[in-house]
């Protein structure tokens, strides 16, 4: 038996942290691209369900620390076991960089962060992102999103400069972020590409792919919608 057993020696818990970057799911502040197919209140319901699914997957992941970097106030959707830190900064790249810095200040262990837009994520998929960082077989793990963004970034050594200045919310954000990692000389392990919830059509596809999720139940309860075309008054 080792002289100083670590948690992963005893119960397969990985010495790593997973952070969820999220907004409080309030009408008009989240998932605005789901309208007009859904009302702002319905879009907020879907956002809350997606966030709850994401947090549940992280809660079930075998890591030593779980963090919620939140813009807003925690609600009923937050399970126990999460450290909550407030987002700060201006643009998304700044908020991500500050969240990484704040997490590193209290725990320098490898870190994976994800957003609240992929309710189909599973603990097994999160493990695929964490394990290479802990074992040292990769310096970064990265998941591209179907729309050209990215849904996950993991770092063996937390460095906020790796995200600061990367243009966000664009069709080339994922490519630019991946290029930043390669330019830093990091060994990158790619994860499966996922769709994220931005539009009504994507909501329907993701619900179908994860029928047992809270998100899918919410889509069914509201009734699946498709984006309604804008009608000209002329």
State pLDDT tens for residues 132-150: 999 999 999 999 999 999 9
> What's the pTM?
0.91
The β-bridge partners of 112 are: 18, 154
pLDDT the model gives residue 224 = 79
Contact in structure between 65 and 57 (CB atoms under 8 Å): no
What angle separates helix 40-59 from helix 123-135, to the nearest 10 degrees?
50
User: CB under 8 Å to 185, separation ≥6 — which residues?
Assistant: none
State pLDDT tens for residues 34-84: 999 999 999 999 999 999 999 999 999 999 999 999 999 999 999 999 999
User: CB under 8 Å to 14, separation ≥6 — which residues?
Assistant: 8, 62, 63, 64, 127, 130, 131, 134
User: Three-state DSSP class for 172?
Assistant: coil
What stretch of H or E contains 216?
helix 214-222
pLDDT the model gives residue 226 = 76
pLDDT the model gives residue 12 = 82
pLDDT the model gives residue 231 = 43
- Please provide the average confidence, as pLDDT, over all residues in the chain: 92
Question: Domains in the chain and their CATH numbers?
Answer: 7-222 (3.90.550.10)
Cβ-based neighbour number of residue 59 at 10 Å: 16
State pLDDT tens for residues 206-232: 999 999 999 999 999 999 787 654 444
Cis? peptide before 136, omega within 30° of 0: no
pLDDT higher than threshold 60 for residue 101 = yes
pLDDT higher than threshold 90 for residue 5 = no
Return the sign of the alpha-carbon dihedral for residues 167, 173, 174, 180: negative
Query: What are the tokens at 197?
Result: 């919830």
Closest CA to 169 of 141, 198, 192, 190: 198
Rounded CA-CA distance 174/169 in Å is 9
| 11, HSE (Cβ side, Cα atoms, 13 Å) | 6
Residue 21 confidence class, pLDDT cut points 50, 70, 90: very high
Rounded CA-CA distance 175/43 in Å is 28
Q: Are strands 188-190 and 111-114 parallel, antiparallel or unpaired?
A: unpaired
pLDDT the model gives residue 227 = 63
Rounded CA-CA distance 214/53 in Å is 6
pLDDT the model gives residue 10 = 44
pLDDT higher than threshold 70 for residue 4 = no
């Amino acid at each position: 038996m080792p002289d100083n057993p670590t948690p992963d020696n005893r119960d397969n818990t990985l010495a790593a942290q997973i952070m969820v970057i999220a907004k409080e799911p309030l009408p008009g502040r989240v998932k605005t691209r789901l309208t007009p197919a859904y009302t702002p209140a319905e879009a907020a319901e879907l956002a809350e369900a997606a966030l709850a699914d994401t947090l549940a997957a992280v809660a079930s992941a075998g890591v030593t620390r779980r963090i919620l970097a939140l813009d807003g106030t925690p609600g009923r959707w937050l399970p126990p076991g999460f450290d909550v830190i407030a987002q700060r900064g201006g643009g998304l790249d700044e908020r991500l960089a500050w969240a990484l810095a704040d997490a590193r200040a209290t725990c320098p262990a490898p870190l994976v962060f994800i957003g609240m837009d992929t309710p189909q994520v599973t603990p097994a998929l999160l493990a695929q992102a964490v394990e290479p960082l802990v074992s040292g077989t990769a310096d970064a793990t990265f998941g591209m999103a179907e729309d050209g963004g990215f849904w996950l970034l993991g770092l063996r050594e937390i460095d906020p400069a790796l995200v600061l200045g990367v243009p966000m919310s664009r069709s080339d954000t994922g490519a630019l972020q991946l290029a930043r990692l390669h330019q830093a000389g990091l060994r990158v392990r790619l994860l499966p590409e996922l769709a994220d919830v931005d539009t009504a059509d994507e909501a329907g596809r993701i619900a179908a792919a994860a029928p047992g999720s809270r998100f899918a139940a919410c889509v069914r309860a509201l009734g699946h919608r498709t984006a309604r075309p804008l009608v000209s008054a002329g």
